[in-house]
Structure 1
Amino acid sequence: MNARPDRWGLTIPLAGLPLREQRDVVAALPDLGYTDVWTGEAGGSDGFTPLVLASQWAPSLRLGTAIIPAFTRGPATVAMSAATLAGLAPGRFALGIGTSSDVIVRNWNGIGFDEPYARVRDLLRFLRPALAGAKVDHEYPSFAIRGFRLPEAPEPAPPILLAALRPGMLRLAGREADGAILNWLTADDVRTVAPHVRGQGRPDAELVARIFVLPDVPAEQAREVGRRAIAAYLNVPVYRGFHEWLGRTELGPMWTLWAGGDRRGALAAIPDAVVDSLVLHGPAESVREQVRAYVEAGVSTPVLMPLGVGDPVATVRALAPR
């Protein structure tokens, strides 16, 4: 594989090291060849604070949220947070939004998870004019905004990307956003997903993919960690639906056992081949080559997600592009 991606991202904050102690490693990322840092927002750090720090620790890095849930903040609050970060890093911030999941939204935040497609679509349609500095007074199908305007709109306005799994959201990302954020898929899956985004008259739409990595970890240990991560995510309804759509029937026994309460049996039922394709492991050079396969398949921005085994700083250095 000879693909040399223009971008090489990393998920922050790194597991196993307090955020307050990550300044040196973030500051060193550009010299190591990393171009981007991206955050998530589930049950750990919020999606904005680590990027605010990174904007000062490494002023050349591109910053991105992957993702900010559409339900857990009000639309104006999302706009204000995004504008603040875009102002700290002009031209270097991308706002990723998405539905998140019923677990995070309903179970953890006590918020209804109703009509997620409509909520994300409407948030996108609100954010476009709001981040451009327009006064927004509009009734969207899923919420109403009355007389909101940012006092200082960012210049330039940040691109907006949508977390997308299945065709409806993927096509929305290609049609109305600046691209899509992908998660929990193989390099081959990218070839299935990409046309839904780029077939909307946007062949240059960005595809950001979070890629789970465990470099220099023995295969047995990597598969054990990978199975736990797969079970935690792919039994969530939105991710199960995604992999059913992709045709990953080999996960059927896991879904059945998990639904029946047999957690141990569900873990054991995940085939090695599925773990190996969704959680990249082996020597660091092999992992880098596997990441490049995503780029060859159509990913614009690979974003590495180390799964927290071993020294996080050593992992970052081992996976630096070469």
Structure 2
Amino acid sequence: MGRWGITLPLTAVPLAEHRDLVRELPQLGYTDVWTAETAGTDAFTPLALAAEWAPELRLGTAIAPVYTRGPGLLAMTAATIAELAPDRFVLGIGTSSPVIVSGWNAQEFTEPYARTRDTLRFLRSAFAGEKISHKYPTFEISKFRLERPPQPPPKVMLAALRPGMLRLARKEADGAITNWLAPSDVPKVRAEVGADFELVARVFVCPTEDADAARGLGRLLISSYLTVPVYAAFHDWLGRGESLKPMHDAWAAGDRKRANEVIPDEVVDDLIVHGSPDRCRELLRRYVESGLDTPVISVLPTGQDPREVVRALAPE
């Protein structure tokens, strides 16, 4: 068995109440804990706790936005986790979305490709302990140096969907992190980054045999996420443009109820893993067989205690 990741913290479980589960994860067969950053916990604090609770786990952010912290603060925060978990921390960075960057954090969402590239280059220099005074195309840094450069420097991975960002990841990063894809999509993404390059993907998992309930929840998520322009373009590239066109048309007309209704079952079943825990494990393994290195489970609500769901989804 290769890597088997879990997204923490779990919805509706207070962060402090994760301790017993996190301590148990290595024995269950999990190798990784990855965080996200939207409007709940930040991406780094849960990893500081996990570094203490389960020193065996690899820890990663998927992702920390490049806009919502200044470059220096992002480097400092990452260096702190890297010091707590030497050689076990992966900094995943990406653009996030205009809603999070502009709507919630009052920052301009401009030149996402260039800002990500420049942030990656800055971080490489910062983690190496360099004193940085440099005018990057999207920001300028004057006389910044980390007081405690992490040893060893953490790996840096890029959130990437389409060819441009995937190729940037291959050229300058240590891996790529992707999202919202089916096992059948993995070869197309893998082709852009080549072999021997880590590909991580968050996979939404709803372990219930109530297919209608799982699809209903899946439709809500799909209409919320895949109407965001970057994800719409991603699925156009993957070949789902026609299947998702009725959803986009209804969404553009302001009819969110209709947008959910017209998402085909096949699309939901492609993008949301659901069924018994055994079937969910089987589907997760299909991602790996298709070329994914690290599946990162994101548990969707089923009415059960999500901690028990994590235990049920452990690799056998």
TM-score bracket relative to the smaller structure: over 0.9
Mean alpha-carbon deviation: is it higher for 103-112 or for 261-270?
103-112
2:174 counterpart residue number: 178
**For 1:157-181, what per-residue CA distance to the aligned partner results, in whole angstroms no more than 9, with x for missing partners?**
0110000011100100001001100
Check the 8 A contact 1:14/1:308 in 2, yes or no: no
- Corresponding position: 1:123 with 2:116: no
Secondary structure of the residue that 2:314 maps to in structure 1? coil
2:225 to 233, 257, 267: 233
Residues 16 and 311 in structure 1, CA contact (< 8 A), matched pair in contact too: no
1:260 and 1:213 map into 2 onto residues whose CA distance is 30
Which runs of structure 1 show a deviation greater than 2 angstroms over 4 or more consecutive aligned residues? Answer: none
Q: What is the CA deviation profile of residues 123-157 of structure 1, one whole-angstrom value per residue up to 9, with x for unaligned ones?
A: 00100010111111111000011111111111110
Q: Which amino acid aligns with 1:314?
A: E
**Deviation of 1:16 (Å):** 2.1
Alignment-derived partner of residue 11 in structure 2: 15
Q: State the 1:308 CA deviation.
A: 2.3
Corresponding residue for residue 293 of structure 1: 286
Partner of 1:44: 40
Structure 2 counterpart of 1:181, one-letter code? I
2:314 aligned partner, one-letter code:
A
Q: Which runs of 5+ in 1 are unaligned?
A: none
Q: 1:61-95: per-residue Cα shift (whole Å, max 9, x none)? A: 10000000011110001100000000000000000
Partner residue in 2 for 1:260: 253
Report what 2:64 is aligned to.
68
Shift of residue 217, structure 1, vs aligned partner: 4.1
Equivalent pairs: percent with the same residue? Answer: 59
In structure 2, list runs of 5 or more residues that go unmatched. Answer: none
Counterpart code for 2:132: V
AA aligned opposite 1:239: Y
| CA shift for structure 1 position 104 | 1.1
Q: For 2:266, give the aligned amino acid.
A: A
- Length-normalised TM-score, structure 2: 0.98
Q: Which of 154, 170, 173 does residue 158 from structure 1 map onto?
A: 154
In the TM superposition, residue 211 of structure 1 has moved relative to its aligned partner by 0.4
Counterpart for residue 140 of structure 1 = 136
Distance 2:186 2:130 in 1: 36
Match status 1:247 vs 2:230: no
Aligned match of 2:73 in 77, 80, 86?
77
Deviation, 1:315, is 0.5
Check the 8 A contact 2:208/2:214 in 1, yes or no: no
Superposition pairs of residues 274-285 of structure 1, within 5 angstroms = 274-285=267-278
SS at structure 1 position matched to 2:60: strand
**TM-superposition CA deviations, 1:261-295 (whole Å, max 9, x none):** 00000000111111111010001011001001111
Give SS of 1:22's match: helix
Distance 1:21 1:222 in 2: 26
TM-score by length of 1: 0.96
Q: Please, which of 270, 285, 289 is the counterpart of residue 263 of structure 2?
A: 270
Separation in structure 1 between the aligned mates of residue 135 and residue 22 of structure 2, nearest angstrom: 42
* Paired letter, 2:311: R
* Equivalent position to 1:311, from 285, 294, 305: 305
Name the counterpart of 2:205.
213
RMSD between aligned residues: 0.8
